Amino acid sequence: MREAEQRRQIERLFSVAELGPRFEDCTFANWQPRPGAVQAYKAALDYTEQHRSYLANGRGLIIFGPPGNGKSHLAAAIVNALIGQGVSCVFRTVPSLLKTIQATWDEDIGVTEHGLIQALISADLVVLDDAGAEKWSEWSEATLYYVIDERYRWKRPVIVTSNCSWKNLKRGLERGHSTGSSKHVCLSRTGPRATGERLQENG
Ligand SMILES: Nc1ncnc2c1ncn2[C@@H]1O[C@H](COP(=O)(O)OP(=O)(O)OP(=O)(O)O)[C@@H](O)[C@H]1O
Ligand SMILES: [Mg+2]
């Protein structure tokens, strides 16, 4: 499939309009600095500014930390900035992505499972939002492994957001045999929600 055709296919299957009203307006400009989230902000902004190098090297980013502290906001800010610059992006929560793939099994959604997965593999950037929130099954693990590993082979990055602990995330990545791709990942951690508790920055 030619590049322009492939891009249209990705846009049709994974329309960024599906980001939804909460995330379609997320930018770096409307990000408010919060204690504990500054490192993640800097990493996401650097990713956007240096995206040519990150994309060329297949380097992804993992943003992990407690709920409600802007992980998805930052990932959406990256996507919103990059689609304006012609980068083909997919932004999906892992549960929603798996449901879309399953829908190809018994509904005519205009694409086969293979076609959908190929589009996922060929996008310039894929954001797997809320990794770890999916219901585990051998199929979901094998599918995610396949997508991540194929993208790794083709030097195409994945950005992951998750509120799993780093220990669990690492175990998940290792189980998926994608330790190779995680080598290239720049880690960042958002802090606790501003609840008045003592907040700590993590690098
Ligand atoms: N620092 C921030 N500045 C501006 N808005 C923020 C910031 N942090 C979070 N928000 C907003 O708060 C809401 C919740 O943030 P978001 O969904 O990004 O959190 P999350 O860390 O991804 O949570 P979860 O782990 O539950 O997925 C969103 O509407 C987001 O735009
Ligand atoms: Mg989120």
pLDDT, one tens digit per residue, over 149-175 is 999 899 999 999 998 887 777 776 665
Element (DSSP H or E) covering residue 128? strand 125-129
User: Which atom of ligand 1 is least distant from the CA of 32?
Assistant: 3
Residue 198 Cα, ligand 2 centroid: separation in angstroms?
22
The upper half-sphere exposure of residue 89, i.e. CA atoms within 13 Å in the direction of its Cβ, equals 27
Query: What per-residue confidence (pLDDT) applies to 193?
Result: 54
Report the topology of domain 3-189: Rossmann fold (3.40.50)
Predicted TM-score (pTM) of the model is 0.88
CA distance 47 to 131: 19
Residue 128 corresponds to which tokens in the numbers above?
A: 């797997």
121 by DSSP, 3-state: which?
helix
User: Which atom of ligand 1 is least distant from the CA of 163?
Assistant: 25
Residue 39 Cα, ligand 1 centroid: separation in angstroms?
15
Give the model confidence (pLDDT) of 82-122 as tens digits.
998 989 999 999 999 999 999 999 888 888 899 889 999 99
Nearest-CA residue for ligand 1 atom 29 is 22
Give the model confidence (pLDDT) of 29-76 as tens digits.
999 988 888 889 999 999 999 999 999 999 999 998 888 889 999 999
Q: Among all ligands shown, which has an atom nearest to the Cα of 67? A: 1
CA distance 89 to 86: 9
Sequence-ordered list of residues with C-beta below 8 angstroms from that of 150, at least 6 positions apart, any chain: 121
